[in-house]
Chains A and B, each alone.
Chain A
Amino acid sequence: MTLSDIAFWLFSAGAVWTAWRVFRTDSMVRASFALMLSFFCVAAILLLLSAPYLGIATIFMMAVEMMVMALFMVMFMMNPAGLNPMMMVHQHKVSIGAGVAAFAGLGAAALLTDLPHHAVAAGKPVIRDLGTELLGGSMLIFETAGITLLATMVATVVLSSRSGRFGAADEGSRPPGLEPGGKPAGRAPERDSDHSHHAEHGG
């Protein structure tokens, strides 16, 4: 067992353990950054596989992505600090099914594909080769995937930002009372023509 074998197993264990922590923690921010650590372990394995650009770019991209994800989740979930405990897992049956199917699919793909098993020759211009691949033969695939992902993100934000937690955001929504049947918590929505809202503010 060489040193890089030991490193591979350590990083693999780290990736699995931090990924497991994503579902065991009770905070969205902690979950995001646990996922980030999991990806960092994968990035380290990429470095071991002589893919320096992909490895470091994974660290770079995941740092930004998980930061944005934490921010957006907190924004949409109305849990101001992300420190409030909350249940991080839901739809148990569906997600277990999806998880098992994804694991089986990806595992089968990894085991059945004829992956190259020879070491990368020292001095091989791996970054140049990667660039030629990305901007050559596979350019159409990557650009299509990029545009599709961007469109999906914009559409998701547009769709999800309208429905607020207590009703449609563009109509003004009111939170429920602090006690059953009590006064609504927080501010009342602005209504220019309605003067009775002064009474609602009162107290």
Chain B
Amino acid sequence: MTALIAVLLLLAAGIWFGATADAVAEAAVAGHPVRAALTSPFRRAALMLSRQAIATEHPDRLNRLLAPACYLVLAAAGLSVIPFAPGMAVTDIATGLVLWGACEALVVVVVFLNGWSANAPLPLIGGYRYVAIGLPAMLISMFVLIGAALPAQSLGVGAVVESQRVLINAVRQPLGLPLFLLLGLSITLRGPFDYGDSADLAGGTHAEASGAHRLLWRAAKLAMLTAFSAMAATVFLGGYLGTVLPGPAWLVLKTALVMLVLVAITHLVARVPPARMLTWLWTVLLPLSFVDLVWAGLEAMR
């Protein structure tokens, strides 16, 4: 029960923190006053809520309604396997990493359906483009996560944290965290991996969304950012492990750190054309994830 409340609190706080960090980073990069950016997420949210909902011609109403809600649910489901302290997780199943993998895979489906269901050109292009980039990015993360599970000899997230008491996985498997961060950019539709919701498609999969629908989609993206950051902090940075402070505080601090890194990448790194990104993914990054897996295996046998 405590873990469930912790998950909901972390999600709510993460949405606020992510939105604020995004606004501040945007203002800093653009040279605008940063102080005004601190409150702008609330203003923007209120503005979105007050706008009328627009309807496209012959949309798939069911999927259009379900997509943002499912995105939000996937973020919560991903967080449910993360321990805030030893044994303090909503569900400490032995297949936690596989559950997280299923959430990643379903994000691709949900983003595609969000673009597809509008029955409009730009969201549809965003949806297809996202699938092409999102699936290989997810493959990479799978190999990286298997690498992280090797020293723990378990697919349970709690066991992965406990295996990092001596050395955190970010140091033990140096390729793991950077490759995993790419997935984070991809499943939260951010910066160099934002092929679904990008500005060159006027907002991509949510180009035709307005009002509460748009607000919910944005919030769900930030919720997924929180869930991903907590997962990265748990699997690669030791999660709740740390001295002096209590476990949950360490987890929140590490989560915030990963979020800030992702927000910085979002606003500082440019997006390359999808075709070039696809080539990089299959010819450079995927082989790198194999190297990471071999590295993890050799290290675990040592």
Contact = CB atoms under 8 A, between A and B. Distances in A.
Nearest to A70: B112
A82 B116 contact: yes
B116 A29 contact: yes
Given A81-B124, A127-B155, A53 B98 contact: yes
Given A30-B60, A81-B124, A127-B94, A63 B102 contact: yes
A104 interface: no
Given A29-B116, A67-B135, A81-B116, A36 B93 contact: no
Given A29-B116, A71-B131, A82-B116, A64 B58 contact: no
* Chain A contact residues: helix, strand, loop or mixed: helix
A59 B103 CA distance: 9
A33 B131 CA distance: 15
B116 to A, nearest CB: 6
Interface in A8-38: 29-30, 33, 36
A53 B95 CA distance: 6
A169 B170 CA distance: 48
A56 B128 contact: no
Contacts, number: 57
A83 B109 contact: no
A7 interface: no
A45 interface: no
B271 to A, nearest CB: 21
Contact of A36 (B58, B109, B119): B109
Contact of B98 (A56, A64, A68, A71): A56
B109 A33 contact: yes
A149 to B, nearest CB: 17
B106 interface: yes
A57 interface: yes
Contacts of B155: 53, 127
Contact of A63 (B93, B106, B132): B106
A66 B102 CA distance: 13
Most chain B beta-carbon contacts within 10 A, residue among A53, A67, A68 = A67
Contacts of B112: 67, 70
Interface in B127-142: 128, 131-132, 135, 138
Given A68-B135, A71-B131, A82-B116, A59 B109 contact: no
A81 B105 contact: no
Contacts of B102: 56-57, 59-60, 63
A52 interface: yes
9 contacts: A33-B113, A57-B98, A60-B102, A63-B105, A64-B135, A66-B109, A81-B119, A81-B124, A83-B116
Interface of B: 58, 60, 93-95, 98-99, 101-102, 105-106, 108-109, 112-113, 116, 119, 124, 128, 131-132, 135, 138, 155
Given A52-B95, A63-B102, 5 more contacts: A59-B102, A64-B108, A71-B128, A80-B124, A81-B116
Q: Which A-B residue pairs are the 7 nearest by beta carbons?
A: A63-B105, A60-B102, A59-B102, A56-B98, A52-B95, A63-B106, A64-B105
Interface of A: 29-30, 33, 36, 52-53, 56-57, 59-60, 63-64, 66-68, 70-71, 80-83, 127
